[in-house]
Amino acid sequence: MFSWRTVVALSAALLLWASAFAGIRAGLRGYSPGHLALLRFLTASLVLAVYALVRGVRLPERRDLPGLLLAGFLGISVYTVAINYGEQTVTAGAASLIVSSSPIFLAVLAFLFLGERLSWWGWLGFAISFAGVALIGMGTAGGVGIDPGAVWILIGTFAASICSILQKRFVERYKPLDLSAYTLWSGAACLLVFAPGLLETVRGAPLEATLAVLYLGIGPGAVAYSAWVVALESAPASIVGNALFLIPPLAIAVAYVWLGEVPSGVSLLGGAVTLAGVGLVRWKGRP
């Protein structure tokens, strides 16, 4: 049995991360994809900096700086900007369903670079998931071709998966929250390329869009990571990790309440196929 502390922490992390997809759509009503990403992670960086001053986050070793910077660039900068571009045309619920394919990328990257074996069940799950992603893209595009926004989201998901592989070399040397802080700060620094024009955009953006972006930085950005670490510290990682399957249905529910969005029937079918493939990889993918 889990303690109430674990249940609350895990529930908060899942709900906050699920709400990020709707928050991005709301933020895009007043911000470009680049400005949205920068303001979001400047906010998250400030919150984590305050936490670091209170609780203490040790400095990384100099030899690890290039790897940590690359992880932040891929897992924060590339991922966030790609998701933002994708959600200009893809609904929040459909975007969350595409991102749910990330375990597929992780399994293949681990096979290629970490020497982890993948059974034929795993390769079958890989194929099934990509068929599901194609269905989601077709559902978003109205059934003719694949929405380019779905391709952007797939690129972002792949970048985040590479980030996870890079982080594996650091997990034994750094605390989870420290590693999350390094990744977030590195990504925020890379996003400074979008700084020109940000202040003018903030002045001209609707208040609702600005509040949505600030929420993304504080809630899904800083608070969710802290809650996730609490959950990982007090429950088995395998069980906590499997709870991530709840994010797509939660994201669809939040998007309906917040934005009135409902993914198309084809996208929902594609999401079900994608999750089935991911489940096959996670439970049967390794010999």
Spatial separation of the C-alpha atoms in residues 161 and 166, rounded to whole Å? 9
Spatial separation of the C-alpha atoms in residues 268 and 93, rounded to whole Å? 9
The residue type of 229 is V
Spatial separation of the C-alpha atoms in residues 108 and 201, rounded to whole Å? 40
Q: Give the mean model confidence (pLDDT) for residues 37-60.
A: 86
Spatial separation of the C-alpha atoms in residues 210 and 216, rounded to whole Å? 10
What is the reported pTM? 0.86
Q: How many CB atoms neighbour CB 227 within 10 A? A: 21
No. of helices (H) and no. of strands (E), the chain? 15, 0
Structural contact between residues 28 and 242, judged by C-beta atoms closer than 8 angstroms: no
Spatial separation of the C-alpha atoms in residues 208 and 154, rounded to whole Å? 28
pLDDT digits (tens, 9 = 90+) for 163-198: 888 877 787 788 777 888 888 899 999 999 999 999
pLDDT digits (tens, 9 = 90+) for 197-212: 999 999 999 999 999 9
Q: Give the mean model confidence (pLDDT) for residues 30-41.
A: 96
Spatial separation of the C-alpha atoms in residues 90 and 139, rounded to whole Å? 10
Query: HEC string of 162-194?
Result: HHHHHHCCCCCCCCHHHHHHHHHHHHHHHHHHH
Spatial separation of the C-alpha atoms in residues 226 and 9, rounded to whole Å? 8
Spatial separation of the C-alpha atoms in residues 236 and 96, rounded to whole Å? 24
**According to the model, what pLDDT value does residue 141 have?**
57
In the chain, pLDDT over 90 holds for what percent of residues?
A: 37
**According to the model, what pLDDT value does residue 1 have?**
56
